[in-house]
């Protein structure tokens, strides 16, 4: 009986110690990211190859490519960019990280291991708070929504099933995302339960045509938040768009967004796109401004929202914030 008690105490101690063990990557290389080569990225997409940007969480390692520190924090703590408060350089200092799991770790542990990496290698410390912040409320317009209800509902992505040929899988903040590139046409982005987005470039309109399928209004709000935050000086000022419509269901939508505005969005988000000044129209090879034809039907994001029978109103709402108290710009050695 004595030995049984000792064995029980030892087992409990081992379990407690295991529970207190911090999950960490076995090894991780961190390098400053080089500017994106748009031509090479387009070629890789058309060939169905690996994207040099984004997150890939595999069975034995995780890759975080061309990501800024704010985005890494978002992946680690499952928050959105508008919920992270800190110095401006958090959104511009980018890294490529390749990290190997320790034996016995699962891909579901990647976010906790990323938390340890940010604390150990970048000395991240923070605190959480909830404060009222200005937001943009997405509400129905006067005539109600002008969206067609979907006949189908989206399904979550089954990561255990192999991706079709030419399809790339990356990890989004809310789960896996699969992208299928159609060479010379565009791409289909499957966001799982958030729905599907198909986009293609229309040269004659200088626009990007976007088809949204099976999207929820809250999913639309999240997508619009990301787009609006990237506009420099655009309507929204980087504020969160909150779904306050109270509308349930899944919907279809088709939009033509100005290509010049989209290029300016990407440049303002930090992507190195020649000829696309942040917050302004893109420029052509001869330095002249490239603007969408006002008669082509291409829209700004705000116009696109209104065309769906929705509108944005400035309001205040409590938003949980992750406030960065300290973080190093450069990581400790590999």
Average model confidence (pLDDT) across the chain:
77
Per-residue pLDDT band at 42 (split at 50, 70, 90):
low
pLDDT in tens, 118-131: 999 999 999 999 98
pLDDT digits (tens, 9 = 90+) for 157-182: 887 777 776 677 766 666 777 877 66
- pLDDT tens per residue across span 222-258: 777 755 554 433 333 456 788 899 998 999 999 888 8
pLDDT (0 to 100) of residue 331: 95
- pLDDT for position 222: 76
Q: What is the domain partition of the chain in residue ranges?
A: 27-326
Predicted confidence at residue 231, as pLDDT, reads 42
Global confidence as pTM: 0.62
- Residue 102 — pLDDT band, cuts 50, 70, 90? very high
Least confident of 132-136, 141-145, 282-286: 282-286
The answer to whether residues 277 and 288 touch, using CB atoms and an 8 Å cutoff, is no
- Pairing assessment for the beta strands 251-258 and 148-149 based on DSSP bridges: antiparallel
Region class of 287: left (phi > 0), else alpha (psi between -120 and 50), else beta: left
Going by C-alpha positions, the residue among 327, 326, 323 that lies closest to residue 133 is: 323
Nearest CA among 24, 125, 135 for reference residue 73:
125
- pLDDT of amino acid 76: 93
Cα gap 264→282, rounded to integer Å: 6
Instruction: Report which listed range, 212-216, 280-284, 325-329, is most confident.
Output: 325-329
Q: Which residues contact 311 (CB under 8 A, 6 or more apart)?
A: 138, 139, 140, 141, 305
* Cβ contacts of 164 within 8 Å, gap of 6 or more: 180
Give start and end residues of each alpha helix (H) in the chain: 2-20, 38-46, 69-77, 110-121, 217-230, 259-268, 301-307
CA–CA distance from 162 to each of 45, 59, 119 (Å)? Answer: 18, 13, 34
pLDDT confidence of 286, banded at 50, 70, 90? very low
CA distance 140 to 35: 41
Quote the CA–CA distance of 7 and 150 in Å, as a whole number. 60
Mind listing the pLDDT tens digit for each residue in 77-96? 988 887 899 999 998 899 99
pLDDT of residue 112: 93
With a pLDDT cut of 70, the percent of the chain lying above it is 69
User: What pLDDT was estimated at residue 89?
Assistant: 94
């Amino acid at each position: 009986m004595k030995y049984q008690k000792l064995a029980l105490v030892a087992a409990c101690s081992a379990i407690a110690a295991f529970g207190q063990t911090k999950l960490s990557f076995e090894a991780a290389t961190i390098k400053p990211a080089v500017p994106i080569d748009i031509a090479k990225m387009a070629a890789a997409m058309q060939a169905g190859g690996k994207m040099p940007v984004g997150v890939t969480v595999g069975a034995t390692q995780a890759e975080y490519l061309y990501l800024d520190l704010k985005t890494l924090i978002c992946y680690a703590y499952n928050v959105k960019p508008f919920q992270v408060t800190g110095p401006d350089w958090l959104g511009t200092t980018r890294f490529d990280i390749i990290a190997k799991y320790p034996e016995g770790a699962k891909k579901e542990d990647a976010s906790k291991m990323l938390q340890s990496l940010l604390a150990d290698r970048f000395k991240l410390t923070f605190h959480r708070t909830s404060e009222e912040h200005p937001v943009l409320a997405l509400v129905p317009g006067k005539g109600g929504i002008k969206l067609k209800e979907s006949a189908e509902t989206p399904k979550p992505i089954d990561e255990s099933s192999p991706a079709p040929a030419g399809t790339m899988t990356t990890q989004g903040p809310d789960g896996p995302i699969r992208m299928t590139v159609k060479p010379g046409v565009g791409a289909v982005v499957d966001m799982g339960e958030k729905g599907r987005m198909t986009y293609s470039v229309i040269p004659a309109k200088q626009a990007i045509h976007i088809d949204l399928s099976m999207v929820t209004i809250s999913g639309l709000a999240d997508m619009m938040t990301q787009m609006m935050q990237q506009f420099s000086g655009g309507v929204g000022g980087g504020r969160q768009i909150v779904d306050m419509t109270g509308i349930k269901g899944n919907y279809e939508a088709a939009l033509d967004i100005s290509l010049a505005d989209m290029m300016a969005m990407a440049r303002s988000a930090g992507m190195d796109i020649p000829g696309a000044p942040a917050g302004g129209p893109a420029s052509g090879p001869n330095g002249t401004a490239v603007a969408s034809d006002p008669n082509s039907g291409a829209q700004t994001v705000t116009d696109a929202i209104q065309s769906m029978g929705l509108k944005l109103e400035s309001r205040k709402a409590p938003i949980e914030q992750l406030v960065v108290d300290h973080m190093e710009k450069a990581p400790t050695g590999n």
